[in-house]
A and B are shown apart, each in its own frame.
Chain A
Amino acid sequence: MEKEEDLFVPRQVTTEENFAPGHRACIGCGEALAVRYVCKALGKNVIIVTATGCIEIFSSLLPQTSWQMAWIHTLFENVAAVMSGIESAYKVRVRKGKIPDKNVKFVGFGGDGATTDIGIQALSGAMERGHDFLYVCYDNEAYMNTGIQRSSSTPYGAWTTTAPVGKKSSIGQVTWKKNMPEIAVAHNIPYVATASPSYPLDLMAKVKRGAEMDGPAYIHILSVCPTGWRSPTDITIELGRLAVETGVFPLYEVIDGEYNLSVDLPDLKPVTEYLKKQGRFKHLNDDTIATIQTRVEEDYVKLREKAGVK
């Protein structure tokens, strides 16, 4: 029998590719897939600002481009500031009668490095000032473009080239993943969500909601990176689902401060199911995995409490 998605997805999702094929992402890149879904959901009436990182590199090699909509890249850490200028310019020019108001959406794209590390100041500033924009963080949990260096979004215990697993008893990354969606929530913005390209309809619905919202909106997308995670290229979707099913990366929305779980799982799968499929965790011993398991469960309980689920 055909699955429900097979019947309905083609009708719900445009076949138009606003992010054109032919880009140069690695095989199995979850980030490229996420960008593609986000661009489908956004449509063409947008201006997109992208940070330096894998996305900009695989999509824009002069004189070619994958972007079918108005797009700009300048630097690594300033997406939210460039966005602020564009949004302001548009508003003022409409107000002064220089251009008609066509309800254009302003959307910023950044990797986890561009968002949680070097660009967090600009992003915080733009959210605090209340510009009307959507910011999408494509979190592949390291600086992939420069060769898999750790970021503050790299998970505990993951190997990276700057958090290597040394000959002494080191475990790779020794800090816990920065909770960027919570930092966005703390700015009292109207919309924050997490999403995954393994749940495309959920992702696209969130992008639409975020873009429609008045004021700043923030979406944090876990983007599987086979190259950096040392995972097979044909299990990207599966890994994305496992991240959710183990509670490692829960899907939720925070609308005007109200938490809602998008996928609620009373029984989480053990984190090993997610970890063992990735080379970046292959060195972990049972004790470290147990530490991760405890932390994931605690965080999940806290999240469920915020969402008012027992």
Chain B
Amino acid sequence: MTKGKIVGLEGSFAVAEAVRMANADVIAAYPITPQTHIVERLSEMVADGDLDADFICVESEHSAMSACVGASAAGARVFTCSAGQGLELMHEVLYIPSSMRLPVVAVAANRALSAPLSVWCDHSDVMALRDISWIQMFAENNQQAFDLTTCAYRIAEDKDVLFPTMVHIDGFYLSHVIEDMVLPEEEEVAGFIPDYEHPFVLDPDKPVSMGCYGPPFIYPETKKAQDVAFDNTRPKIQEIWDEFGEIFGRHYSPVESYKMDGARIALLTMGSCSETAMLAVDELREAGIDVGLIRLRLWRPFPFKELREAVKQLDLLVVLDRAISFGMGGPVCSELKSALYNKREDLKIVGFIAGLGGRDIQISEFKYMVTQAQEKVKAIERGEEVETEIIGVREGGGR
């Protein structure tokens, strides 16, 4: 079993520790709340000589990701982090490392999107990144923030993967909250993430052209190749998580469950609110309701198989979204419906939206979702239209 020590760290510092232990070569980042503590901590580590890296204080997030692309193409191990508006400004560049198979590692401290300006957590920024072909995973506590960032390097740099990887940590809930966690020994981490050599780097001695343009006679072939390669990363991700589990004693899988034995109903969550949802499940179980919790750990590539397995015994799946796909409802709920369509005709899926712009989601609200969802199922069975409900919002003006 692993050595290491128990420490109290906020999520941002946990991420910085993971980057330090990964011995990253180049960090390029631009500050934005609630990601700032990560860049500040990394700057200190570089200044103190605890991390032998170049910290490029770029002038924007667009340049942050561009510098990561350049550094990665030149063979370096890189890191960046951002949130909300920063990820939006970076958006154009995010497609580049995935299409060019560069193993950039990034952490997003999830934040709402303007307007109105909000520095607080929700998943609006994540939802704008669904199609960027990055491997994306969610942490729900600071231990996971460390573990998943560590795993992100191994996954991204694996020769059978070579896709950029992003770890989502909820802004403030994880980035700014101090929790107990195990910080493993540096040698152990170094053993888990060995030095890597990208098969194609920018090297004057072995010149290659990267990023040529693709007219219609070749573009679709490049995109199919990318799609197939991305789909094929799934077994490798699990394999690396399993290896991590064996060494460090903490196990991860694409879809994780809580109290699912005998459950007919399940809540589905992503990120830090999963721990609140667990408390709600405990209380509901005590009240005799057969409810469990499903947490999506892996968001991209989407874990179809594991999800179908997890919902096998269910009658009702209650999905929480922390973002709105305007005019469409909850984005996670839409995706789950599409993932399960034609597979489980009898499974009812009901979505709720909550926790926008940093509003806390209470245990009582998770319980409300479960009871209310059962009512909605009855309405669906009566043939009524059931819309996605946004909960925890004041109605009718006033303060």
Asked if residues B68 and A85 are in contact (CB atoms below 8 Å), the reply is yes
Chain A hits for B76, CB < 8 A:
85, 88-89, 92-93
Asked if residues B54 and A121 are in contact (CB atoms below 8 Å), the reply is no
Distance A103 CA – B103 CA, assembled complex (angstroms)? 26
- A 217-248 binary contact with B (CB < 8 Å = 1; else 0): 00000000000000000000000000000000
Q: How far is the CB of A43 from chain B (nearest CB, A)?
A: 9
Q: Does B342 contact A (CB under 8 A)?
A: no
Chain B hits for A83, CB < 8 A:
70
Chain B hits for A74, CB < 8 A:
66, 69, 93, 96, 100, 211
Asked if residues B52 and A125 are in contact (CB atoms below 8 Å), the reply is no
Asked if residues A73 and B210 are in contact (CB atoms below 8 Å), the reply is yes
A sample of 9 more A-B contacts (CB under 8 A), given A81-B66, A84-B66, A85-B74, is: A61-B215, A65-B212, A72-B210, A82-B73, A83-B70, A93-B76, A95-B52, A121-B59, A125-B63
Asked if residues A61 and B212 are in contact (CB atoms below 8 Å), the reply is yes
- A 54-66 binary contact with B (CB < 8 Å = 1; else 0): 0011001111110
Asked if residues A67 and B207 are in contact (CB atoms below 8 Å), the reply is yes
Chain A hits for B57, CB < 8 A:
129
Q: How far is the CB of A270 from chain B (nearest CB, A)?
A: 42
Nearest chain A residue, comparing its CB with the CB of B25: A92
Q: Does B268 contact A (CB under 8 A)?
A: no
Q: How far is the CB of A308 from chain B (nearest CB, A)?
A: 34
With A89-B25, A89-B70 known to touch, is A70 a contact of B60 (CB < 8 Å)? no
Q: Does B56 contact A (CB under 8 A)?
A: yes
Q: Does A301 contact B (CB under 8 A)?
A: no
Question: Which residue among A73, A74, A85, A88 has the maximum number of chain B CB atoms within 10 Å of its CB?
Answer: A85
Asked if residues A84 and B211 are in contact (CB atoms below 8 Å), the reply is no
Chain A hits for B63, CB < 8 A:
78, 80-81, 84, 121-122, 125
- B 41-62 binary contact with A (CB < 8 Å = 1; else 0): 0000000000011101111101
Q: How far is the CB of B332 from chain A (nearest CB, A)?
A: 30
Asked if residues A96 and B52 are in contact (CB atoms below 8 Å), the reply is yes
Nearest chain B residue, comparing its CB with the CB of A83: B70
Q: How far is the CB of A192 from chain B (nearest CB, A)?
A: 20
Q: How far is the CB of A44 from chain B (nearest CB, A)?
A: 6
Question: A45-53, A157-165, A170-178: which lies at the B interface?
Answer: A45-53
Q: Does A91 contact B (CB under 8 A)?
A: yes
With A84-B56, A85-B26, A86-B202 known to touch, is A78 a contact of B62 (CB < 8 Å)? yes
Distance A199 CA – B210 CA, assembled complex (angstroms)? 31
Q: Does A68 contact B (CB under 8 A)?
A: yes
Asked if residues A70 and B202 are in contact (CB atoms below 8 Å), the reply is yes
Cβ-neighbour of B54 out of A47, A57, A72, A92 (below 8 A) = A92
Listed A/B pairs (22) with beta-carbon separation below 8 Å: A61-B212, A62-B218, A63-B212, A68-B207, A69-B204, A70-B203, A74-B96, A77-B62, A78-B66, A81-B67, A82-B67, A85-B69, A85-B78, A86-B74, A88-B26, A89-B25, A89-B74, A89-B76, A93-B25, A104-B204, A121-B60, A128-B59
Distance A257 CA – B53 CA, assembled complex (angstroms)? 32
Q: How far is the CB of A49 from chain B (nearest CB, A)?
A: 7
Chain A hits for B338, CB < 8 A:
none
Q: Does B387 contact A (CB under 8 A)?
A: no
Chain A hits for B287, CB < 8 A:
none
Asked if residues B208 and A70 are in contact (CB atoms below 8 Å), the reply is yes
| Residues A87-129 near B (CB distance < 8 A) | 87-93, 95-96, 98-99, 102, 104, 121-122, 124-125, 128-129
Distance A128 CA – B207 CA, assembled complex (angstroms)? 29
Q: How far is the CB of B152 from chain A (nearest CB, A)?
A: 19
Q: Does B92 contact A (CB under 8 A)?
A: yes
Nearest chain B residue, comparing its CB with the CB of A125: B59
Chain B hits for A85, CB < 8 A:
26, 28, 56, 66-74, 76, 78
Distance A264 CA – B68 CA, assembled complex (angstroms)? 43
Q: How far is the CB of B68 from chain A (nearest CB, A)?
A: 6
Asked if residues A72 and B72 are in contact (CB atoms below 8 Å), the reply is no
Chain B hits for A78, CB < 8 A:
62-63, 66, 93
